[in-house]
């Protein structure tokens, strides 16, 4: 039997977080607040289920789940073990308009016009050396179902070095690396699907933004041409809530070189001025800050008593 408190908690969560096959939708917090959603917990069932399959079930990228659950085997998580499902987030520190892509956390935020909601979808981004642009504001120029793919000269050279010759134009269809839907945001870049069964939450693309099939179809049908699109890179997000709580969310920053990417050592974190000012507060718990900067779980954590 549910207690009155449990019923209240369940109803409260339903009001701020809803699931569909294609996105996690949050109701936007009141003005001055930035923390949304709540974390969940999932017990790994018996049988062979990869972390990628669990991530897809909960609308997460693989990196989101791995950061929140360090040490878990991505190929065969232990049956009976409990995973944190990181659905509590701090909204990126930028305009809550159109599409916002935070490369560091590999998430896409879509603020549908005329609603008080934000939809959050996991993404794959560009490989080291084929980086997805950052600090860039553009827009949706056009959309196309069943797109073709025209590999760049550099892309063809990279594939040729591996012994694979790409055609000048890859025809549309389920085998097309761009999937079945594409949202074009510039001459060289698009938000598109994939013909692969993995790679969301990883650095796998040639620079474009990659989504799972259901997610790109949903976005394709939802986002109008002309929608603002902003690319940011915020591995650290902070928020001060009206309740007095001060929160910090730390992700692993993006590797800048192949050596960094292949190294087992953590990538160095640099603190932006706004983050430095935020944590230089008399109530900040320095031990919590140290733990967050070391662990980088991507989970918002209160840093004051």
Among 302, 268, 303, 298, which Cα is nearest to 87's?
298
- Rounded Cα distance between 108 and 118, Å, is 10
Give yes or no for a contact between 61 and 106, defined as CB atoms under 8 angstroms apart: yes
pLDDT band with cut points at 50, 70 and 90 for residue 18? low
Which pLDDT tens digit goes with each residue over 68-121? Answer: 999 999 999 999 999 999 999 999 999 999 999 999 999 999 999 999 999 999
The one catalytic residue among 192, 218, 251, 281: 192
pLDDT digits (tens, 9 = 90+) for 239-274: 999 889 999 999 999 998 888 888 888 888 989 999
Over residues 28-56, the pLDDT tens digits come to: 999 889 999 999 999 999 988 999 999 99
211: CB partners within 8 A, 6+ apart: 108, 121, 122, 123, 124, 191, 192, 193, 194, 200, 219
pLDDT at residue 12 greater than cutoff 60:
no
Name 190's bridge partners: 184
**What pLDDT, on a 0 to 100 scale, did the predictor assign at position 188?**
85
With cut-offs at 50, 70 and 90, classify the pLDDT of residue 159.
confident
Residues 111/96, Cβ–Cβ less than 8 Å: yes
Structure confidence at residue 22 (pLDDT): 59
* 158/284: higher pLDDT: 284
pLDDT at 14: 38
pLDDT value at 186 more than 80: yes
Considering the candidates 208, 218, 251, 281, report the single residue annotated as catalytic. 208
Phi, psi at residue 89, to the nearest 5°? -135, 160
The pTM is what?
0.90
- Give the residue among 235, 238, 247 at the shortest CA–CA distance from 104: 235
Domains of the chain from N-terminus onward: 8-90 (3.10.350.10), 98-232 (2.40.440.10), 236-302 (no CATH)
Whether 14 sits among the annotated catalytic residues: the reply is no
* Neighbouring residues of 226: CB distance < 8 A, sequence distance ≥ 6: 139, 140
pLDDT computed for residue 304 by the predictor: 96
Residue 197 has pLDDT above 80, yes or no: no
Alpha-carbon distances of 135 from 103, 213, 231, 285, rounded to whole Å:
10, 27, 5, 31
Contact 107, 233 (CB under 8 A): no
Q: What is the pLDDT of residue 1?
A: 36
Q: Residue 151 has what pLDDT? A: 83
In the predicted model, is pLDDT for residue 5 greater than 60? no
Q: Please provide the average confidence, as pLDDT, over all residues in the chain.
A: 90
Alpha-helical segments (H) within 69-212: 153-161
Q: Is the pLDDT of residue 63 over 70?
A: yes
Give 60's pLDDT tier (boundaries 50, 70, 90): very high
């Amino acid at each position: 039997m549910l207690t009155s408190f449990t019923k209240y908690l369940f109803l409260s969560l339903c009001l701020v977080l809803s699931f569909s096959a294609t996105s996690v939708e949050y109701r936007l917090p009141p003005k001055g607040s930035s923390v949304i959603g709540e974390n969940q917990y999932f017990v790994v069932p018996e049988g062979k289920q990869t972390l990628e399959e669990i991530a897809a079930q909960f609308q997460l990228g693989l990196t989101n789940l791995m950061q929140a659950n360090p040490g878990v085997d991505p190929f065969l998580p232990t049956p009976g073990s409990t995973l944190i499902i990181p659905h509590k987030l701090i909204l990126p520190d930028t305009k809550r308009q159109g599409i916002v892509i935070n490369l560091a956390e590999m998430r896409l935020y879509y603020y549908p016009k005329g609603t008080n909601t934000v939809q959050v979808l996991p993404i794959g981004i560009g490989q080291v050396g084929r980086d997805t642009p950052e600090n860039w504001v553009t827009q949706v120029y056009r959309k196309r179902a069943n797109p073709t793919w025209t590999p760049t000269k550099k892309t063809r050279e990279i594939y040729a070095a591996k012994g694979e010759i790409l055609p000048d134009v890859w025809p549309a269809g389920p085998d097309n690396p761009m999937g079945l839907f594409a949202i074009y945001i510039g001459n060289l870049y698009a938000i598109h699907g994939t013909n692969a069964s993995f790679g969301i939450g990883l650095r796998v693309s040639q620079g474009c933004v990659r989504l799972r099939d259901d997610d790109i179809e949903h976005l394709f049908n939802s986002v109008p041409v002309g929608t603002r699109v902003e690319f940011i890179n915020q591995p650290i997000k902070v928020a001060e809530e009206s309740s007095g709580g001060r929160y910090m969310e730390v992700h692993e920053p993006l590797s800048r070189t192949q050596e960094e990417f292949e190294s087992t050592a953590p990538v160095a974190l640099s603190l932006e001025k706004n983050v430095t000012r935020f944590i230089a507060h008399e109530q900040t718990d320095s031990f919590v800050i140290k733990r967050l900067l070391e662990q980088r779980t991507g989970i918002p954590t209160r840093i004051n008593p």
